[in-house]
Every structure is written in C-alpha cells, then in structure tokens.
Amino acid sequence: MNKFLLLILLIALATTLTLACVPEKPVKDGKGELAVVIDREFTSPVTHSPIDWWQTHHPHVVNSGDIKEKDCLYCHNAERSCNNCHGYVGVRKIK
C-alpha cells in the first residue's frame, strides 16, 4: 500500500481512539454518570437567569447567605445535580 494512504489510515484511527477516550464532563442533560439531571417538573427560577451568570455566581449567592443551601435542594437532587459537578471540579460536597 502506498505510504500516504497508510498515514491517512493511521491518523483516522488515532482520531477515533482519542475521541472515544475523552473523559465525561458534568453537562446538563448530558449522558452518563456525571450528567447534571434536574427534574422536568421544575422550571428554572429567576435567580438562574441568565444561566451562564448563575453557573459562575451561584457560589457567591449561597455563601453570602442570600439563598440558603437547603432551599436549592427543593428542586435539585444533591447527588445528581450538585455533587456530580462539584466532585469533578473539586468543590466540597453539598449535603
């Protein structure tokens, strides 16, 4: 086989293997163990808008005492929608 074709084949193989081995991330409605899951029956409260602001600032809102941590758990299951992400980023567990 010509060397060029062989090279292309090797690159294709390496790409497939790399993609298959990318570790999971905690993504909302993602797949697998780390997926962030929130019950469908809940709509997102105004504090969460815009959602990317909230993703960054929720620690300060909770730590400043504006909203109590246990009030988050009314909608969020701590294991499925806090700690899967906290474990991944290395933040303490929510109880």
Contacts of 12 (CB under 8 A, 6+ apart): none
Nearer to ligand HEC, 18 or 43 (CB): 43
CA distance 34 to 79: 10
CA distance 95 to 93: 6
Task: Report CA torsion sign: 17, 18, 23, 25.
Answer: negative
Min CB(46)–ligand HEC separation in Å: 9
Single residue of 34, 62, 80, 87 touching ligand HEC by CB under 6 A = 62
CA distance 18 to 38: 30
Site string for ligand HEC, 11-40 (x = CB under 6 A): ---------------x-x-------x-x--
Give the interface segment with ligand HEC, choosing from 1-9, 16-24, 53-61 (CB under 6 A). 53-61
Chain residues in the site for ligand HEC (CB under 6 A): 26, 28, 36, 38, 42-45, 48, 51, 54-55, 58-59, 61-63, 67, 69, 71-72, 74-76, 81-82, 85-86, 89, 91-92, 94
